[in-house]
Structure 1
Amino acid sequence: MQVFSDTAQIKEVVDAFKAQQLTIGFVPTMGALHKGHLALVEKALANNDKVFVSVFVNPTQFNNTDDLDKYPRDLENDMHLLESISKELLIFAPSVDAMYQGNTVSQQFDFDGLEHVMEGKFRKGHFDGVGTVVKRLFEIVRPDNAYFGEKDFQQLQIIKKLVDKHHIPVNIIGCEIHRESSGLAMSSRNSRLTDKQKKAAAFIYKTLKTAKQYFGTKSANEVTKWVTKQFENQELLELEYFIIADVETLKQIKRKSKTKTYRAFIAVYVGEIRLIDNIALN
């Protein structure tokens, strides 16, 4: 497995791959890898000649410095997990200075409003940080295909918008959410949960599944009120938001339409740890 920290080295390797007309797959991560990440890597390996995986905790997408400081980091374990899948992977693990060249600030982006709802509403500047680092990674790795999990569905839609508006020649592929046996969506943050918290957090997906059933016969407003009430009785969980939105605009809906596709989105605090999840409704 080759590990790079320098962008100039990657340029040489990518130039050689492009000269041979080899396809490049790319899986951007913030490390603390789990089975969900590994599934993305396996999909990339199955469909590309060469695959890069980046491991970089991006400071500009954290609006909470405490959250950034506590974000789990274990590069040695990440390398071990990746090597167990394939020794042919190429790993990009840059420093903050290498990524931002001494100027650790976000560009400002216009994602046609996708950035102002849900995560964007509760985490100011988050998607400017995401857009900045993903655009930079795409410029360095120059992949043909890039793979992102649907747990961060809003991020997935924003990255598709980024690629479209900035004419970046990469195919964005969304991959299904991987879950623990309890139904809890796999997340790097799960490693910070106590056993008691993790058991309680399984309630999030259980509630989403029931909300999906209710959405077949009840209005979006009725389902939202029901979900909100369920969390009032959860001692360890604090609901930040539950929203039913159009998958294209990500705007909260008032009335259902048979011609539209919807998802339910949720953010919940388990103690000080913030978890997100979503589910397709139709």
Structure 2
Amino acid sequence: MKTYSTAEALRSALNTARQTGKSVAFVPTMGNLHEGHISLVRRARQLADVVVVSIFVNPLQFGANEDLDNYPRTITADKEKLFAEGTQYLFLPQVEEIYPEGMEIHSKVCVPELGNRHCGASRPGHFDGVTTVVNKLFNIVQPDVAVFGEKDFQQLSIIRKMVRDLLMPVNVVGVATARAEDGLALSSRNGYLNEEQRQIAPVLHRILQETRQAIACGYDSYRELECHARLSLQAAGFEPDYFNICDARDLLDVTPETEEIVILAAAKLGSTRLIDNVTHNLNPSSDWGMLATN
């Protein structure tokens, strides 16, 4: 595995690979890699000849009171995991490489509407930071395919829309959420949970599953289901941010034309913010049931 810290050096290496006809898959991460990240790398290996992984804790997507300074950084362990999975290239830039003139006057990429709801409503500017850095990384790597986890369903939807809108020649592939045995979605932030909170945390996924089951049984009073779920989360010790039942295509309210729903949830447990989602196909006979039910 070769490690590069500049865009110029990585581009040169990838150009050499492309000249021999090799395809490129890209997995952008912020490091502190766990089994969820590794599942993305494994999927990338299936999809292309060359796998590039980036590790960059992007300050542009963190709010003023968020955990940028405390975000876990485990570069040595991350490198060992990536090497073991056969990753060929690791891009490990410094902030100055990505934002050479600083972030205040840096051009930004915005996906309107979709980026302002759900997580975007409580984390203003977050998704502008995500789309800006992913756009830059795509321009540096120029991948044939990019692999993202479905745990952050809204982020995946936003990146797919950005790629469509800007006519980027990148195939964006989602991979089902990796979970612990008790159902908790794997996340770098799970390490913030104390022992008691870690025991409570799987309740978030359980409530999502219960809500999906109610819908599968024909209960379609979605606002009532959302309210009940938020109360259940509070009773378990969470501080709910949102619990929303949406059309999986556009993350808007469910309509009679909706074929696939996604139930999105975010809640704090102590100081740790957890997100998760599940999907449900309302029309099993359609071709739209392609999203993983996680």
Fold equivalence (TM over 0.5):
yes
Looking at structure 1, the residues matched to 134 and 240 of structure 2 have their Cα atoms a distance apart, in angstroms, of 29
Over 3 Å counting, the alpha-carbon distance change for 1:259 and 1:239 in structure 2 is: closer
CA offsets 1:133-166 (integer angstroms, 9 cap, x no match): 0000001111000000000111101111111111
CA offsets 1:119-142 (integer angstroms, 9 cap, x no match): 111100011100110000001111
2:87 corresponds to 1:91? no
Shift of 1:109: 3.7
Aligned-partner residue type, residue 235 of structure 2 = N
Task: Count residues with an aligned counterpart.
Answer: 278
| Structure 2 match to 1:247 | 248
Question: Contact (CA 8 Å) 2:110, 2:131: kept in 1 or not?
Answer: no
| Structure 2 match to 1:20 | 20
Q: What TM-score, normalized by structure 2, do the two folds share?
A: 0.91
Question: Contact (CA 8 Å) 2:204, 2:233: kept in 1 or not?
Answer: no
Looking at structure 2, the residues matched to 214 and 247 of structure 1 have their Cα atoms a distance apart, in angstroms, of 18
CA offsets 1:165-193 (integer angstroms, 9 cap, x no match): 11211100011000011100000101111
Gaps of 5+ in 2: 282-294
Gaps of 5+ in 1: none
Shift of 1:11: 1.3
Looking at structure 2, the residues matched to 195 and 116 of structure 1 have their Cα atoms a distance apart, in angstroms, of 34
Looking at structure 2, the residues matched to 228 and 260 of structure 1 have their Cα atoms a distance apart, in angstroms, of 24
Looking at structure 2, the residues matched to 244 and 52 of structure 1 have their Cα atoms a distance apart, in angstroms, of 35
| Structure 1 match to 2:284 | none
CA offsets 1:234-276 (integer angstroms, 9 cap, x no match): 23x21111000111111133xx536421110000101111010
| Structure 2 match to 1:276 | 275
More helix by share: 1
C-alpha root-mean-square deviation of aligned residues, in Å?
1.4
Over 3 Å counting, the alpha-carbon distance change for 1:98 and 1:65 in structure 2 is: farther
Question: Contact (CA 8 Å) 2:54, 2:91: kept in 1 or not?
Answer: yes
Looking at structure 2, the residues matched to 100 and 148 of structure 1 have their Cα atoms a distance apart, in angstroms, of 23
Over 3 Å counting, the alpha-carbon distance change for 1:184 and 1:84 in structure 2 is: same
Q: What TM-score, normalized by structure 1, do the two folds share?
A: 0.95
Shift of 1:66: 4.0
Question: Contact (CA 8 Å) 1:6, 1:98: kept in 2 or not?
Answer: yes
2:266 corresponds to 1:264? no
| Structure 1 match to 2:234 | 232
